[in-house]
Amino acid sequence: MDTRVLAVDDEPQFLELEQLHLASHHVDVTTSESARAAIHELAHRDFDVVVSDYQMPDINGIDFLKMVRRSGSDVGFVLFTGKGREDVAMSALNEGANYYIQKGADMESQFALLAGIVEEIQRGRAASSALVESERLLRISNQRMDLLGSITRHDTMGGVMVAEGFIELAKSEADPEAAQAHMSKAKASLEKVRGIIEIARTYQINGAMNIKWDSMGSVLDRAAASVQMEGVTYSSKAEDWMILVDPLLEMVCANILSNSVRHGRNATKVVASSEQRNDGLDLIIEDDGCGIAIEDKERIFNLQTPAGVPHGLSIARRILDAEMIQIREDGTQGTGARFVLHFPDGLYKKRPLTRIEL
């Protein structure tokens, strides 16, 4: 994608020349003939670099630069100055400009220099942004693994202790049938431990080290494509938020969709939507089937297979716990199931708009 530059100058012909020269270097230039017009552009569009003249009516280049930096924006900034204005150049650098260029008669060399500076700023910004984001994702990944490890240790230790207790009872039991019953319970407890360890292993391989930012719509579309909907229609009204995901989150969404098809009883549609709240973002997946009874709303998250391995939504909740995402079912029996995945701050984002106060 071309580098996006906002060129600001009160001389329209100079802006035209700047736009034409930079276009030959794969730079997409938007022009503004005043700092006020540029402020409006920055509030509604994203730019990589601002190139501004210094001497402009109303708001000069230094004051414009101060406004940009006070807004919290780290957009690259290059200031054009007249010859002999070293004081302006030093002031610009002190206020957060990346470079300054003296306007001269040799336009071709001047714009070639500007193109090189714009490219250098963009490379530096991209590298810095990638490093910061990589460090953040690694930190979140480690947090998820630590949390899953804590959950796994707690559950496995509990399961082992229960198994040991039943084994001791079986040893001291004179009645063979009662002893066998104790051993069966011990075996079931150990099978549950095995299932928990398998979930942790799966998460370690497929989940925690593969986190990335992706659009909510893309995650939902991939989940829906992986499920045989069997006559149940799927649609999404979710806003296009960016959420921090891994492959297992898609598995959770697919599991919810599959449950609507298999257990919804006469469900005809599943609809996904989103709702921003004060404490985070909700992803809502609901159907028009039979719904879930009040007494079963928590039980569905604790179901196990006959072998004692956590099943379906039980696995989903454990995965989401490790990802710091909460899941609940709050639909009404008779009108449909409604699953809510709650993303806390830091796990979702929208493209920010730069706001600059005049």
**CA–CA separation, 106 vs 278, rounded Å?**
56
Q: Is pLDDT larger for residue 319 or for residue 107? A: 107
Short-list 43, 38, 27, CA closest to 60: 38
The confidence band for 232, taking pLDDT boundaries of 50, 70 and 90, is: very high
Report pLDDT for 153.
72
53 part of a folded domain: yes
What letters, b where the CB count within 10 A reaches 16 and e where it falls short, cover 148-157? beebbeebbe
Range scoring the smallest mean pLDDT among 34-43, 131-140, 216-225, 247-256:
131-140
Report pLDDT for 132.
62
The total number of residues written for the chain in this structure: 358
Report the pLDDT averaged over residues 83-103.
84
Report pLDDT for 110.
85
8 A C-beta contact, residue 329 and residue 292? yes
- pLDDT cut 70: percent of the chain above it: 80
pTM of structure: 0.50
Phi–psi pair at 237, nearest 5 degrees: -115, 10
User: Cα angle at 276 between 279 and 291, to 5 degrees?
Assistant: 100
**CA–CA separation, 304 vs 255, rounded Å?**
15
The confidence band for 137, taking pLDDT boundaries of 50, 70 and 90, is: low
The confidence band for 317, taking pLDDT boundaries of 50, 70 and 90, is: confident
Q: What is the residue whose two structure tokens read 């796990």?
A: 347
Rg (CA), the chain: 30
Range scoring the smallest mean pLDDT among 65-74, 76-85, 286-295:
76-85
8 A C-beta contact, residue 52 and residue 80? yes
Residues 206 and 293 in one domain: no
Report the pLDDT averaged over residues 205-213.
62
Report pLDDT for 133.
63
Residues 205 and 222 in one domain: no
User: What's the number of domains the chain is made of?
Assistant: 3
Dmax (CA) of the chain: 105
Q: What is the CATH number of the domain that holds 51?
A: 3.40.50.2300
pLDDT tens-place string over residues 142-197: 666 665 666 567 667 878 888 899 999 999 988 989 999 999 988 888 887 776 67
Residues 206 and 219 in one domain: no
Neighbours of 161 (CB within 10 A): 10
Domain boundary pick from 210, 239, 259: 210
Structure tokens at 283: 């992803």
pLDDT at 309 over 60: no
Quote the mean pLDDT of the chain.
83
Residues 63 and 161 in one domain: no
Report the pLDDT averaged over residues 328-357.
81
Domain of 192?
Answer: 135-210
Residues 52 and 79 in one domain: yes
8 A C-beta contact, residue 172 and residue 183? no
Report pLDDT for 233.
94
Structure tokens at 190: 């150990």
- H helices of 264-312, in order, are none
pLDDT at 33 over 90: yes
8 A C-beta contact, residue 317 and residue 301? yes
Report the pLDDT averaged over residues 300-313.
57
Residues 156 and 71 in one domain: no
The DSSP secondary structure of 92-115, one letter per residue, reads HHHTT-SEEEE--S-HHHHHHHHH
pLDDT at 62 over 90: yes
Report pLDDT for 358.
53
Report pLDDT for 302.
74
Residues 257 and 171 in one domain: no
Inter-axis angle of helices 176-206 and 313-322, to 10 degrees?
Answer: 50
**CA–CA separation, 217 vs 96, rounded Å?**
38
pLDDT at 329 over 80: yes
Range scoring the smallest mean pLDDT among 34-48, 235-249, 268-282:
235-249
pLDDT at 330 over 90: yes
Report pLDDT for 307.
43
Structure tokens at 308: 């004692």
12 part of a folded domain: yes
Give how far Cα 69 sits from Cα of 93, 96, 133, 356, Å: 12, 7, 22, 9
Residues 177 and 218 in one domain: no
8 A C-beta contact, residue 238 and residue 348? no
Highest mean pLDDT: which range of 18-32, 72-86, 182-196 = 18-32
